[in-house]
Chains A and B, each alone.
Chain A
Amino acid sequence: MTPDTRSIVTDLAARMGMQFAPDLKSPYLAGSAGLTAAVLMMVAQEGDRTAHRLVEENRAIRAILKQAPDVAAPADLAARLKTLAAGEDADLHISALQAANNALRDALTGLHAHVEGQTSAAAKSLEAAIWSELAASTGRRAFSNMGF
């Protein structure tokens, strides 16, 4: 059996929120159970997509970092960007993908600070690509039915 974890967790969350929580006498425990149900709903959404969004995002950031030589970054930053841009996600465990993502987003922050305010066409193009990727990153992390 390959368990459909999303369905399982979604069902457990629904039971926790709609069956168990209302019957708890303590207002604090009832509230905590409701919040736990809401967190489980998020786990169900996130569990199914995490590997996909991390692979997609790591790939997108590496493509941006590959353009870094066009904007003459300081030597230490340039070397770091070059190393990270050449990487790949061979290990698909979420912990490994997340570690790579952290390193890539940290480097992206450094590159962003470097190109801000530069007036060359290459810098402006790279800055626009960074903003576009940052906007896309929030779409990848968004949850349904969560307001703004």
Chain B
Amino acid sequence: MADLTEARIADYIAGRLEGASEVEVTALRRITGGASRETYRLRLSYLDAKGERIERPLIIRRDPPASLIDTERDIEFAAYRAFHGSAVPVPEMLWLERSDALDRPFFIAEEITGFESSPTALLSPPFADKAEKLGERKWTILGEISRADPHALGLDQVMEVPAPDACWKRELGYWEGEIDKDQIEPQPIIRAAIRWLRANPPPPAQKISVVHGDYRTGNFLYDREGDIHGILDWEMAHLGDPLEDLGWGLNRIWCWGGDDRRGGLLPREQAIAIWERASGLKADPAALHWWELFNCVKGQGIWVSSAKAWMDGENRDPILIFSAWRMLNAQDRAALELMGKL
């Protein structure tokens, strides 16, 4: 298998830019954070049909040999495209390629440059005093995602549309299956959570929404003024109960600062109030509790699969073993806390 090189990428892009010449790719660098896909940064330069020099920073997201989650790149690509230009800031998607032109399927997108994404950078200057403003933006944007009409966005054409009373069963079944398939050690705490969730199902979804699937601090680009410029990592996007996304963002494992602020930004109740205002939806406390506990199962499904991929040698990227080892126990503690047993 040939290396991923600037020349190979330039050849690929040249075939897709009508009337372009002198297509050149430089500054190709793999970057961290792509646990679900290999992520590369590059700079594209070409002359357009009018002879004008165009320069663009781009991102390539390529399927890895194995990853944290088995996802559909087509769906991720469609979700980004659906929200581009809306109140939900996302980078522009350019090309989706399912062939082996670059050895494995990939897509190419605009890079939104000059912003921070690290959740731990929020803990110190110059970002620490912008946590409240960032929290307001974060849960407002999630409200916009929840409020959006999947049909109007065309996403019901590429994503399965569940019945409102079937969302919980589909999601719980999927993630329980992932744990069954990949667990290396028994998971007595999460098994107890699964039994409770099955015995106490939530009410039907109040609407079928776009669910980002991994909406948390660390998956958006922010600046020093407390504004958000890009919502990233849509690889687990699907249609379902909007409370699923809210519950994931409230998960205690994302309390990076060591205190109770959710996502390291805002108290739980404040985050919920912002989401309700922006989405026009209600977060029924009992239903939200169900989805928060469900998200502990989902989280454990991700960490268990990550550990398995690393242990089996399918993918030895250190992000897999670091996140799995660190998060498995934190996720158990989060589940115990929600069940009143910690």
Query: In angstroms, how far is the closest chain A Cβ from the Cβ of B246?
Result: 18
User: Bound complex: CA of A7 vs CA of B31, how far in Å?
Assistant: 31
Nearest neighbor of B40 in chain A, beta-carbon distance:
A28
B125 within 8 Å of A (CB atoms): no
Contact B333 A147 (CB under 8 A): no
Which of B85-93, B109-117, B250-258 forms part of the interface with chain A?
Answer: B250-258
Q: Quick one: which of A106, A134, A147 has the most chain B CB within 10 A? A: A147
Mark each residue of chain B from 1 to 36: 1 if its CB lies under 8 Å from any CB of chain A, else 0: 000000000000000000000000000011111000
Q: Mark B313-341, 1 if CB is under 8 A from A, else 0.
A: 00001110110011011101110100001
- With A143-B326, A147-B258 given, is the CB distance from A113 to B191 under 8 Å? yes
Query: A141 at interface (Cβ–Cβ under 8 A)?
Result: yes
- Interface hit among B151-159, B181-189, B219-227: B181-189
Q: How large is the interface on A (under 10, 10 to 19, 20 to 34, 35 or more residues)?
A: 20 to 34
* A97 is an interface residue with CB less than 8 A from chain B: no
B50 interfacial by beta-carbon distance below 8 Å? no
Q: Which residues of B contact A102 (CB under 8 A)?
A: 185-186
Task: Determine the main DSSP class of A at the interface with B.
Answer: helix
B253 — which chain A residues lie within 8 A by C-beta?
A: 147-148
A31 at the interface (CB under 8 A from B): yes
Report which of A39, A108, A116 forms a contact with B321, defined as CB distance below 8 A: A39
Shortest A18–chain B CB gap in Å is 16
Interface of B is mostly: helix
**A10 within 8 A of partner (CB):** no
User: B121 an interface residue at 8 Å Cβ cutoff?
Assistant: no
The contact sample of 27 A-B pairs, CB cut-off 8 A, is A26-B29, A26-B30, A27-B29, A27-B31, A28-B29, A28-B32, A35-B322, A39-B325, A42-B326, A101-B185, A102-B186, A105-B186, A112-B191, A113-B192, A116-B195, A131-B341, A134-B332, A134-B336, A138-B342, A141-B329, A143-B329, A146-B330, A147-B257, A147-B258, A147-B330, A148-B253, A148-B330
Binding site for B on A (CB under 8 A): 26-28, 31-32, 35-36, 38-39, 42, 98, 101-102, 105-106, 108-109, 112-113, 116, 131, 134-135, 137-138, 141-143, 146-148
